[in-house]
Amino acid sequence: MATRWQSIPGATENVVERTAEDIGKVRKRMNVESSGVKGGAKESVKEAGGRAARRLGARAGLAGAALKGGYEAGRALDESTGIGRKMVDKAGSAIDRAATGDRVKLTKEARQQLEDEENFQGMVDAMHAVRDEDIAAGKNRYAKGGSIRGGGCERRGKTRGKFV
């Protein structure tokens, strides 16, 4: 038989671990009829589940009281000092400065990487321009099958066996 103090959560317990254990005990109590437990063991499981449910209720009540107490203390502090408004104003002005600031300083490595990417893109654009000019001028090497292409396409079709 358990004592009445076992229905109250301990002050030094690991709350998360004990809560998980108590949830398991409550679940066992709810399913005791289908668990295959008989006789006195069934009553023990029911009693343990009842104590666990009371501990869970006590923890929930304590958490709610702590939350409400913290909220009330914070509200009283804000009303007496105005610290909440000051914090919001300070954060808002910092956000505004960050959002409207157009000055960005890049590191040396970042500037070099950006220049390298711009140079690479310039080379790609130049290659595309040359290709487009060749096509426009009718210099497409593959237009009349005058070159052997790899990849197996030379086995059949007009490029079969032709050399440039």
Segment 73-108, tens digit of pLDDT:
888 888 888 787 777 777 777 777 666 666 667 788
**Residue 21 in contact with residue 6, Cβ under 8 Å?**
no
CA dihedral 99, 105, 109, 110 (to 10 degrees): 30
Does residue 161 come out as left (phi exceeding 0), alpha (psi in the -120 to 50 range) or beta?
A: left
CA distance 36 to 44: 13
**Residue 58 in contact with residue 8, Cβ under 8 Å?**
yes
CA distance 54 to 2: 13
User: Domain segments of the chain: what residues?
Assistant: 4-94, 108-140
pLDDT of 7 strictly over 70 = no
CA distance 46 to 25: 9
Mapping DSSP to helix (H, G, I), strand (E, B) and coil, where does residue 64 land?
A: helix
Q: What is the pLDDT of residue 164?
A: 53
Q: Which has the higher per-residue pLDDT, 144 or 85? A: 85
Q: What is the pLDDT of residue 116?
A: 81
Q: What is the pLDDT of residue 138?
A: 67
Cα 36 to chain center, whole Å? 43
CA distance 53 to 62: 14
**Residue 146 in contact with residue 162, Cβ under 8 Å?**
yes
Segment 41-60, tens digit of pLDDT:
888 888 888 888 888 888 88
Q: What is the mean pLDDT of the chain?
A: 76
Q: What is the pLDDT of residue 1?
A: 45
